[in-house]
Amino acid sequence: MDAIRLRGLQKTYAGGKRALDGIDLSIPRGSMFGLLGPNGAGKSTLINILAGLVVKTGGTAEVWGFDIDQNPRNAKASLGVVPQELLFDAFFTPYETLELQAGLFGVPKDQRRSMELLRKVRLEDKAHAYARTLSGGMKRRLLIAKALVHNPPVIILDEPTAGVDIELRQMLWSYVRELHANGTTVVLTTHYLEEAEELCDRIAIVNHGRIVADTDKQTLLSQAREKRVVVALETDLAEAPVIEGATRVDLLDSRRLDILYDKSRIQAGAILTRLQAMGLSVVDVTTREADLEDVFLELTGGQG
Ligand code: ADP
């Protein structure tokens, strides 16, 4: 069974804006799933529907097998959402914040684990400090702990590392990995493609309210059509030559060419042969494998 299952999910906002245009998506249990898309693609709308903050206008959504309309309590209990905004009641301490959240989810007192969670996100020494005295990084960690108070099998992190420094990003990543290793299904949205490439095993790309890709990371990466080869030449060039079959040729400096090509149409070897035929001797060649950014730009038309 899926952790999250969406069928024909639609959302048209009151003003007439269609944010989700029939989303079909299955997020397998136990996966570390990346939900990517340019700004305005519909990611937040999708998350907010699952979190019960936005009302869908069509289709169905299930969390852990529970339909959000027919079984909203169980659906909610199965999901923890870490929002993007660092919003807190400034007058509660981290410990109180977690206790309050546990109360909202009906977690009995003897089953609460507020201190344990604070230890996990390394906030135990701030347990009784006012939330407003916490740094941005600490608030973000507190939000993660808050999403976990009811021990949900699925957690969604919305842009977990937006605007955080490298050190905190590494710490959040290792914590997310640990959660996943302990069996939690993790869904994250991010606009750092590097983050998805680093963490996720499956990736879906949303564009204009539709799913334009949904596959495991390796397959997605191998879908990139464009490849790049940089060649060093023996002689100086004044301008980039035209190479038949290449999408683009740039002169990096007088002796180096950056060549972009569609790997379904031509191979690197053929490009080199063409250079030789033009009387250009190649002294060195570097190819670059496509990364997620290449695929993302191809699928979203470069709006990233
Ligand atoms: P993302 O999270 O991928 O950036 P959103 O889900 O926030 O995308 O937005 C999807 C589209 O819906 C955008 O065009 C956005 O302007 C629009 N939208 C989002 N929230 C509202 C709202 N409350 N009312 C009207 N339109 C909205």
Kindly give, in sequence order, each residue whose CB lies less than 8 Å from that of residue 122, ignoring residues fewer than 6 positions away. 141, 171
Q: How far apart are the first and last CA of the chain?
A: 32
- Domain assignment present for residue 304? The answer is no
- Domain assignment present for residue 205? The answer is yes
Domain limits for position 185:
2-222
Determine the distance separating the centroid of ligand 1 and the alpha carbon of 21, expressed in angstroms: 12
Same domain for 25 and 124, yes or no, is: yes
What CATH code is carried by the domain that includes residue 119? Answer: 3.40.50.300
- Domain assignment present for residue 188? The answer is yes
Same domain for 183 and 267, yes or no, is: no
Determine the distance separating the centroid of ligand 1 and the alpha carbon of 260, expressed in angstroms: 35
pLDDT of residue 304: 43
| Phi, psi torsion values for 273, nearest 5 degrees | -60, -40
Q: Which residues pair with 226 in a beta bridge?
A: 262
Same domain for 213 and 91, yes or no, is: yes
Q: How far from chain centre, in Å, is Cα 205?
A: 9
Kindly give, in sequence order, each residue whose CB lies less than 8 Å from that of residue 103, ignoring residues fewer than 6 positions away. none
Nearest CA to ligand 1 atom 12: 19
Same domain for 148 and 274, yes or no, is: no
Residue 93 DSSP code: -
H helices present in the chain, as ranges: 43-50, 72-77, 94-104, 114-120, 136-147, 166-181, 193-199, 217-222, 268-277, 292-300
pLDDT of residue 264: 80
What CATH code is carried by the domain that includes residue 276? Answer: 3.30.70.100
Assigned token pair, 132:
């407003």
Closest atom, ligand 1, to C-alpha of 39: 4
Three-class DSSP category at 27: strand
Same domain for 252 and 213, yes or no, is: no
Same domain for 215 and 293, yes or no, is: no
Three-class DSSP category at 132: helix
C-alpha distances in angstroms, 128 versus 87, 95, 168, 249? 18, 6, 22, 60
Nearest CA to ligand 1 atom 27: 13
Helix (H) or strand (E) segment spanning residue 179: helix 166-181
Same domain for 44 and 170, yes or no, is: yes
Single-letter amino acid code for the residue at 227: K
Separation of alpha carbons 131 and 94, rounded Å: 6
Same domain for 168 and 293, yes or no, is: no
pLDDT of residue 263: 80
Same domain for 216 and 235, yes or no, is: no
pLDDT of residue 60: 98
- Domain assignment present for residue 134? The answer is yes
E strand map for 42-105: 58-63, 66-67, 79-82
19 lines ligand 1 (CB under 6 A): yes
Nearest CA to ligand 1 atom 15: 40
Torsion of CA 147, 153, 159, 161, to 10 degrees: 80
Determine the distance separating the centroid of ligand 1 and the alpha carbon of 46, expressed in angstroms: 10
185 lines ligand 1 (CB under 6 A): no
pLDDT tens across the length of the chain (304 residues): 899 999 999 999 999 999 999 999 999 999 999 999 888 999 999 999 999 999 999 999 999 999 999 999 999 999 999 988 877 777 899 999 999 999 999 999 999 999 999 998 889 999 999 877 888 888 888 999 999 999 999 999 998 887 778 888 888 888 899 999 999 999 999 877 788 888 999 999 999 999 999 999 888 877 766 788 999 999 999 999 999 889 889 999 999 999 988 888 888 899 999 999 999 999 999 887 667 777 787 788 765 4
| Percent of the chain that is helix, strand, coil (3-state, to 5) | 35, 30, 35
- Domain assignment present for residue 178? The answer is yes
Same domain for 209 and 270, yes or no, is: no
Same domain for 100 and 23, yes or no, is: yes
pLDDT of residue 166: 83
The model's pTM is 0.80
Determine the distance separating the centroid of ligand 1 and the alpha carbon of 18, expressed in angstroms: 9
Domain count along the chain: 2
